[in-house]
Amino acid sequence: MYSRGKTIAKLVHGLAQLPVQQLIGDILITASRTDAYDGVSFATTLRNFRQNVLRKLLPKGVGIITRSLNGRLHWHLAVQMPVTAPAFDWTSFEESERYFHLYQTYKSRKDLQFYHYYTRKFRTSLPLEWRKINQQLMIEGKKHGLGRVFLTPVRKNLQAFRWYLVGNVPYRKDDRDKGLQYFTSWGLKRMSKCQLLSHYTADYRRHIKRFAEGLQLSEDSYKITLRSVLGRYWYFRIKDLVRDIDHFSMNQAARYDQIRESLSLHILRSR
């Protein structure tokens, strides 16, 4: 049975074992067009890629597989790099991404030329060690039938990067993802069942149960209902309320009442 809470706990535990931010590389790997929506085929491809390429090139790594808004599969990875990359050209990287999407939309030769120009520019701003690893990842990615593969440093601080990865953890397992493990890691100490239960799951379940009961929501439906009312990232908007469910401040109590009223309106409109 898939559990988003346990997956997040494993991801955070793995990220804590990586070195300082300057030595962390951010890798994005997309599925090929043929496997873009097929979780079973993508799982097989990634298993081979991780075993034959990633483990040999990089000593440590942790990642999460997710689907984009249109359902396409991709893989976010945080890996340990040999040296830092302090002079990375983020402006050229943004322009490269912008022209790539323009080319995908309009198929203009000029957009393609700009995409290649800015791509070369941001890649040359990487240290030699990073460029070698990035080139090897791209070559092996094509051999394994993957889509886009590119490597960048962590742009903001480590905490923001951690929340970015946590935000990509799927809320529920897609029916198309039979046999696909969303979380993956290598070269790191695994989280024991005892750690998982004592440090995350027990408190979370107790708090979220009390939070849902106060809103008269069942354990089976509270996730879907809260997401419908508060949006895709509902938990991050109310995590302080869940954490402090036993001792609300006046402001928190007012917010809790507002959520209760919004839920009541939502239920009435959906009838």
pLDDT along the chain (271 residues), means of 10: 86 89 95 91 93 95 93 95 94 95 94 96 96 96 94 90 90 88 93 60 78 84 85 83 87 90 84 68
* Per-residue pLDDT at 201: 63
Instruction: Give the HSE-up count for residue 144: Cα atoms under 13 Å, Cβ half-sphere.
Output: 27
Instruction: Provide the phi-psi class of 216: left if phi over 0, else alpha when psi is between -120 and 50, else beta.
Output: left
Long-range contacts of 261-265 (CB under 8 A, 24+ apart): 262/229, 262/230, 263/215, 263/217, 263/225, 263/226, 263/229
Cβ within 8 Å of residue 86, ≥6 positions away: 22
- pLDDT, residue 197, reads 54
pLDDT for the residue numbered 20: 87
Q: What does pTM read for this prediction?
A: 0.74
Which domains does the chain show, CATH number per domain? Answer: 4-88+126-186 (3.30.70), 193-266 (no CATH)
Report how far residue 79's alpha carbon sits from residue 46's, in angstroms, rounded to the nearest whole number. 15
pLDDT number for residue 242:
87
Q: Give the model's pLDDT for residue 199.
A: 54
How much is the CA Rg of the chain, to the nearest whole Å? 21
- For position 265, what pLDDT does the model report? 87
